[in-house]
């Protein structure tokens, strides 16, 4: 398989990684394209026979961090709406999935990325560590903390003034009100 | 423990954690519902063209 064939083959995985980092489909597409441009420009630095997948994931991750540093001068990443995080609203047709989407968006990006790469892409901790340029213990810790935090949030183990709980409750109340009135509520996740 | 043993152990840890609890199972299903579509969407022509142009340089 040539270098370019390998780039094409890994694109679906890069998209998942990009979405886990950016929480936004459009931003994820831009990030993948930018990472591919970086990889094409740096293809001579890739050593054939070494781990191409990890090399590409690191390029995308480094590009994300670099872009984030630039954007932080003018934008707060938390301003990105959780509604654009993943699937269209029609696919998030139950509250629990919407809650999960919202909770994911509140995780630190490195934990979210680690969890998604292990669960969705089936990476081992060693593969995750190589792809994210960290120690195996760090990779394992990120996944563990992400799971623990999500479980706490999803089981309602939150302080009463927690912003996520307040947001989820407001969303649920609004959806209940719409349902009682017989009105659609798909647009609520877009507000 | 050899490096191979450690790797095997870690892979098994990962698998075990995925299946260890009802929450783990629910989380895995939820994440797949949120992310599988993205992985399966067609690659934009513009991106493929970019790669092919570089290949033909």
Q: What's the DSSP call for residue A155?
A: T
Contacts of A11 in chain B (CB under 8 A): 43, 47
Q: Which residues of A touch B25 (CB under 8 A)?
A: none
Mean per-residue pLDDT, B21-41 = 91
CB contact under 8 A, B38 and A100: no
Q: What is the CA radius of gyration of chain A?
A: 18
CB A33, CB B54: distance < 8 Å: no
Query: What pTM was estimated for this model as a whole?
Result: 0.74
Q: Is the CB of residue A112 less than 8 Å from the CB of residue A21?
A: yes
The DSSP output letter for A78 is G
**Which pLDDT tens digit goes with each residue over A76-106?**
545 544 444 545 555 545 777 888 998 999 9
Q: Per-residue pLDDT tens for A178-189?
A: 777 887 766 665
- The secondary structure element, H or E, covering residue A110 is helix A109-119
* Facing B34 at nearest CB: one of A4, A36, A86: A86
pLDDT, tens digit, 9 for 90 and up, residues A19-65: 999 988 999 999 999 999 999 999 999 999 999 999 999 999 999 99
Contacts with B37 from chain A: Cβ below 8 Å: 86-87, 91
Q: Is B17 on the interface with A (CB under 8 A)?
A: yes
pLDDT in tens, A149-161: 999 988 876 555 5
Residues A139 and A147: their CA atoms lie apart, in Å, by 13
Helix axes A125-132, A136-154, angle to 10 degrees: 100
Contact A151, A99 (CB under 8 A): no
Domains of chain A: 1-80 (1.10.1740.10), 84-191 (1.10.10.10)
């Amino acid at each position: 398989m040539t270098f370019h064939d390998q780039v094409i083959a890994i694109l679906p995985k890069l998209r998942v990684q990009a979405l886990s980092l950016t929480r936004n489909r459009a931003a994820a597409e831009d990030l993948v394209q930018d990472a591919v441009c970086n990889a094409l420009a740096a293809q001579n630095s890739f050593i054939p026979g070494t781990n191409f997948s990890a090399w590409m994931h690191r390029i995308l991750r480094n590009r994300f961090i670099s872009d984030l540093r630039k954007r932080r001068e003018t934008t707060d990443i938390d301003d990105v709406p959780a509604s654009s995080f993943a699937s269209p609203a029609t696919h998030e047709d139950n509250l629990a999935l919407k809650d999960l989407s919202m909770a994911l968006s509140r995780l630190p990006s490195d934990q979210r990325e680690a969890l998604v790469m292990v669960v969705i892409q089936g990476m081992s901790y060693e593969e995750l560590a190589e792809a994210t340029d960290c120690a195996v213990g760090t990779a394992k810790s990120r996944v563990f903390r992400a799971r623990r935090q999500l479980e706490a949030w999803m089981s309602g183990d939150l302080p009463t003034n927690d912003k996520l709980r307040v947001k989820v409750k407001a969303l649920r109340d609004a959806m209940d009100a719409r349902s009682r009135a017989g009105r659609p509520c798909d647009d609520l996740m877009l507000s | 423990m050899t490096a191979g043993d450690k790797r095997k152990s870690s892979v098994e840890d990962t698998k075990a954690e995925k299946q260890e609890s009802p929450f783990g199972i629910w989380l895995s299903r939820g994440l797949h519902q949120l992310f599988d579509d993205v992985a399966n969407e067609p690659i934009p022509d513009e991106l493929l063209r970019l790669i092919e142009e570089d290949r033909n340089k």
